[in-house]
Structure formats: structure tokens, C-alpha cells
Structure 1
């Protein structure tokens, strides 16, 4: 249920990418939110304002809801499932910004200029058990946040409090908690891009079958644990890239290793949990790229001055391969 990672080009441009793995059809599309947009909240009548513009995957459900995006200051974030461990408060708190879990991402993108500023303002937030429209459940979420300096953090709210942690590997998946995933990497120190050497067993020399043996033992399933290990390995050893176009291409290839095709991961009720789309967020442009499951053509939306100062949010249709063919 979702994999995310960051990379930085040799020119210093920072990207955050994610898969959206879910069974319920979310129906999102690229949406740009202008400056000073007001969001209603299911927790209170006041809602909250967003001084900064941002673009990401949104859907209008009598008010826009976002699950990922990048803002005009180069802060990017994605919300991922954190079932079984996410913990939220029961009541509103005076003097705090009261939010439902599904509203946190919009507040972050609309209100902070850096991961450092978010760290300073987290104490202002009160995240409550409040259901999201359409799903009608309290969505158990945690968040990965990155800015154009390359600084990347994970935000998790658990029974023992708020955890805002530096992300040293630039990867996040789902439950268990982030610190558990980091500890688990110690089980995979044998992984390497080159082949393992020959081994001697008594009088017999055992030779590796060839390139690729360095990755023997890397988990290949679709659990969050396996996807975390696999993505950390891919991110560490994929060739460096220079341009933004090369970055999106490299991220697409890395996410290929964790993308879930329809039908190979089934829920108990018989519905497929699959990768509905992939998103790539460029923090220096800033720009948002969306690649849906049904047609893997990438739609790019740059956060232009016109979009930032528009009177209303702007929705974008997803491009298709056929549209590009007709254009030629």
C-alpha cells in the first residue's frame, strides 16, 4: 500500500516520487490550488487557510482532498497508509490547528516553506480521529516530507506521541513504523550490485551463476517490508542523473520494481489492491507529474504564476497515448 522515495540530480534538483497502491478507486487527478485558498475541516467550523499555492493529486468532494503534491516553495509531501499504528486525538484543542488525518497534507503544503519550519510548527497541530469523505473511515496515515534542499523527514503520530524523524535513506512505505524499517536493513547488508565471489567448500569451488547474484536474498514480495528494502537498494545503486527528465525516468524505473499489477495482491473481500498511479514531484521547478495505471502516459503540470494566483483551483485532464499520437 504505497511506496515513496526521493532522489536528487547531480545539478541539485530534488524529487519525491510515490506509488498510490489502494483497492478503493480514488479517482484523483492533477489539481493546482492557488494562494490563500480556504479549506473546510471535518473537525471544526473554522477550517484552515493555505497561504501558499501547491499542485498534486486531488479530488473535489465538496472541498478538495489531496494525498500528495509540491508547493511553490519546493516543499513536497505524500500521505501513506499506516494501519495498526497511527494514533490520533479524540477532541479538538483550543489554540491548536485542529485537523483530520486526511487534511494534514493540505495544511503542510499550504503553510510551510521547509522541513525545518514544519518541525517548528508541528506542536501547533492537533490531528483528530475524524472520518474522510468518500471512504467514511478515519484514515490511518503517516507522511514523508521533503524540500528542495534535499532535507527529508517522516511524520508519524503514535500512542507514545509525535515522531518527526530525519529520513536518512529517502524511502518510506507502510506499517511497521519507520524506525523498525531502518533497523530491519541490518538483515540485508549482504546486498550489492556486483556478483558475489566464488566460494570454497572442501575441495569444491562454487562459482556464482553470474551478474545479479549480489542481490540474492532481496525480498521480492509486495509487503511494505519487502518494498522498503527493495527500494532502498534500488535508490542507492541506480546511476546518478543530471536532468529533471532523467530523474523522472529513473524514478519510473525504480518504482517498476514495486508497482503492483491488478490481480496479484488481493484483499480478503476479493478486490485487488493495485498501483492506481505513480506521482513524481519536482521541487525546484516546481512541477507535478502523474502516471496512471490504465495509460502510463505522464501528465506534467508546472506550478506557474498564473496557477498560483488564480481565483479558483485548476483541474487537469490526464493525457493519454492516443492524444499524443493524434498530435503527431
Structure 2
């Protein structure tokens, strides 16, 4: 399957939308954290420049999981019934399809989809293929049907994952996606589609950002082997000592910009060097600390589009406790106030619901009353 060109997209129904949004949504970061007691946390940020109407949706067990091929091939589709309930995030601006980019199922399998522009080329479905799934339905398929990374590693390569822009009326950006999947055992893989092939990599860094491909990022970590926790307090100099002005000197050279390569290095080393948390609560907080280091305020990362300045910024953050089936969510206006959801209760209700992430009940905790003088 040839990589989509501007000329090809311009002939497709979705072409205008694809081109208009092509330069954005390339600053997402995902990180996994494991605790001493075995708890596994998977967190991620979502950056974008436009209101995507990000919607959190609960999907009960037994829901439909469509497996289809491009309509032009006229191949028979299959509709499975999901084995697992899950909760996931989708852009509601994309009408007619629940394209889940983030989520967690009742078996403790977590998913985060990050953008991989410039390198993604999906698989070509042929008339002889029998197993296939649209990239728009891949999230639903994985979260609804798989309970572990081990099972996913064995079964997913049997399917062709495809995308046809002509079948989408107005997609806000080309779905150039790669995914990180992590389960409650701590097993984690990155799935990419490069040169028309599915590429599965063990997530050795426990981090995912954006372009280039995952193997490049892991190789790039070797440029930063001098980064360490312990810096020198002083060094001898001509019969005296030159003392450090403060701690942190051993991390000199840690990249601080927002390019995908820099965020990958920053998140990977902060996660690696941090003290191993004792339990799920501490691991969740460590994930928050790491992701705070890649948070983008509005206006910091911007570009000119048609004479208008647009800015990618962190629109929401999700922290998934895969061990205890809990999630924490914060949006850009409530970064200090996370909403917590007990997924076991949500899944046991066996009902579907959806809500805008921006509409969740973020409530700041005001402790002023504790310091008021008693009468």
C-alpha cells in the first residue's frame, strides 16, 4: 500500500480536512511505572491544537466489535461480541466512528495511541485476506477482545490493519498512529505500521512519544548514557575546590524542548532514575511527576496556519491503574485536580455511557476551614 500523498488525499472526500490538520497532534507522551508490590500504572498526555470534543465512553461486555475490509473490495465483514468491558477516549468530532485512542479494559489491558506522522503506512488488504480491521476500530478490537499483551502479541499479526481516507467524510487529521499496549503484569509492546508492515517491539524503555519510529528512539537513548542521579559536590581546582551551586548537575544535557525525541529521552530517564514506588498510589504519583515534565502550556508550542497562530497544548492527562482498575483524569483547565474513576463499579453496571472529558466534575479541594480559628 503506497503512503498517502497530498495529491491522493486531495482526490479523497476527506482530503481538505486531512491537509488542514496535518501539522498538529504530534506531542503526546506515554509512560509506564511499576511498583515494588507489583502494581502497574500506565499514564499518558494528549496534546492538540484544536477542540476535538474528547469524549470518555464506557463500553460494556458483549458490545459489537466490527471487523471490516475497505468497502471497495466487497469482502465479507465480521461482527464479534466483546469479551471484556472497557472505558476509552475518542474524538467526538469524528462523526460515525468511535475511534478510541486511549483506554483500559476489565482485564487490566491498557492502550495509548500516539501519532506517528511521516512514517506510518498501513497494511494493504487483498481479495484473499480473511482477517482485517480498520485502524479506526483497532482500539475497540483490542480492548474488547484481549486480556493480555501475550495474547495480543500472538494474535494481532494475523490481522491486516488498514485505512482508506475515502471512507471518512471529514477526518480531522490522518490517523498516522502507533500504539503502546500494557497489561497488569507489566508486559508492554509498541505496535507500528511501517512500509506496509505491522512492526511489534517490546517496550523496553516503557515510554512512547511520536516520530520517528520506536526503534530509533531506543537507539537515541544511547546518546545520553552520561545522565545520572549523583552529581559531584565539588572538584579540586588549583589547590582549592570548586563547589556545585546545587543538585542536579549530573543531569546536565537532559533535553528540555518538546520535540518527540526530547520528550522520549526526558520521560525515559526520569522514570529510570526515580526511586521505585512502593505501591499503586505512589506509582500513580510518579507517573504524574514524569508527565508533568512534558506538559505543554498554551502558546509555548505554536505555528502559523493561514495567518492564524495555533498552539498545541496538553488537553488532558490519563493515569491508568491497571492492577486495581482505576483511572485518574485531568483536563487542561484542571491540571491540579484529577478526577478518579473506579472502573470495577462502572463495568459491573454493564451500561454504556459517555461524557466530554471537559465536562467531568473537577472539584478543587479547599482546606481553608481547617485553619479558621474555632469560636
Tell me whether the two structures share a fold, i.e. TM-score over 0.5.
yes
> Could you tell me how far apart the structure 2 residues matched to 1:67 and 1:190 are?
35
- Alignment of 1:299 with 2:335, yes or no, is no
Deviation (angstroms), 1:122: 1.8
* 1:149-188 mapped onto 2 (5 Å cutoff): 149-159=185-195, 161-188=197-224
1:103 to 137, 143, 156: 137
- Alignment of 1:226 with 2:262, yes or no, is yes
- Alignment of 1:274 with 2:306, yes or no, is no
Note closer, same or farther for the CA distance 1:225–1:309 as it changes in structure 2 (3 Å cut). Answer: same
2:275 to 193, 218, 239: 239
- Alignment of 1:289 with 2:289, yes or no, is no
**Residue by residue, what CA displacement relative to the aligned partner does 1:234-258 show, whole Å, maximum 9, x if unpaired?**
1012222233332222211111110
Deviation (angstroms), 1:308: 4.9
> Could you tell me how far apart the structure 2 residues matched to 1:151 and 1:128 are?
26
> Could you tell me how far apart the structure 2 residues matched to 1:23 and 1:47 are?
36
- Alignment of 1:124 with 2:158, yes or no, is yes
Counterpart contact for 2:58–2:351, Cα < 8 Å: no
Counterpart contact for 1:92–1:98, Cα < 8 Å: no
5+ residue gaps, structure 2: 1-26, 370-375
* 1:246-261 mapped onto 2 (5 Å cutoff): 246-261=282-297
- Alignment of 1:190 with 2:216, yes or no, is no
- Greater mean alpha carbon deviation, residues 284-293 or residues 173-182: 284-293
> Could you tell me how far apart the structure 2 residues matched to 1:288 and 1:259 are?
19
> Could you tell me how far apart the structure 2 residues matched to 1:54 and 1:230 are?
30
Note closer, same or farther for the CA distance 1:309–1:97 as it changes in structure 2 (3 Å cut). Answer: farther
Corresponding residue number in structure 2 for 1:23:
49
SS at structure 2 position matched to 1:250: helix
> Could you tell me how far apart the structure 2 residues matched to 1:133 and 1:214 are?
52
**Residue by residue, what CA displacement relative to the aligned partner does 1:285-327 show, whole Å, maximum 9, x if unpaired?**
21222111112221222222663562534547412226x66xx
Corresponding residue number in structure 2 for 1:3:
29
SS at structure 1 position matched to 2:330: strand
**Residue by residue, what CA displacement relative to the aligned partner does 1:261-282 show, whole Å, maximum 9, x if unpaired?**
1100013412111111111111
Corresponding residue number in structure 2 for 1:51:
83
RMSD over aligned Cα atoms: 2.7
> Could you tell me how far apart the structure 1 residues matched to 2:230 and 2:179 are?
33
Which of the pair has more CA radius of gyration?
2
Counterpart contact for 1:101–1:130, Cα < 8 Å: no
Note closer, same or farther for the CA distance 1:133–1:174 as it changes in structure 2 (3 Å cut). Answer: farther
**Residue by residue, what CA displacement relative to the aligned partner does 1:48-93 show, whole Å, maximum 9, x if unpaired?**
4332111122355334231111111111010000000011134455
Counterpart contact for 1:70–1:77, Cα < 8 Å: yes
Deviation (angstroms), 1:94: 4.8
Counterpart contact for 1:143–1:156, Cα < 8 Å: yes
Deviation (angstroms), 1:127: 1.4
> Could you tell me how far apart the structure 2 residues matched to 1:214 and 1:133 are?
52
> Could you tell me how far apart the structure 1 residues matched to 2:146 and 2:169 are?
25
Counterpart contact for 1:193–1:237, Cα < 8 Å: yes
> Could you tell me how far apart the structure 1 residues matched to 2:77 and 2:304 are?
39
Deviation (angstroms), 1:202: 7.1
> Could you tell me how far apart the structure 1 residues matched to 2:277 and 2:334 are?
25
Note closer, same or farther for the CA distance 1:93–1:277 as it changes in structure 2 (3 Å cut). Answer: farther
SS at structure 2 position matched to 1:272: strand
> Could you tell me how far apart the structure 2 residues matched to 1:64 and 1:285 are?
26
SS at structure 1 position matched to 2:310: coil
Counterpart contact for 1:299–1:319, Cα < 8 Å: yes
Deviation (angstroms), 1:205: 5.5
- Greater mean alpha carbon deviation, residues 280-289 or residues 72-81: 280-289
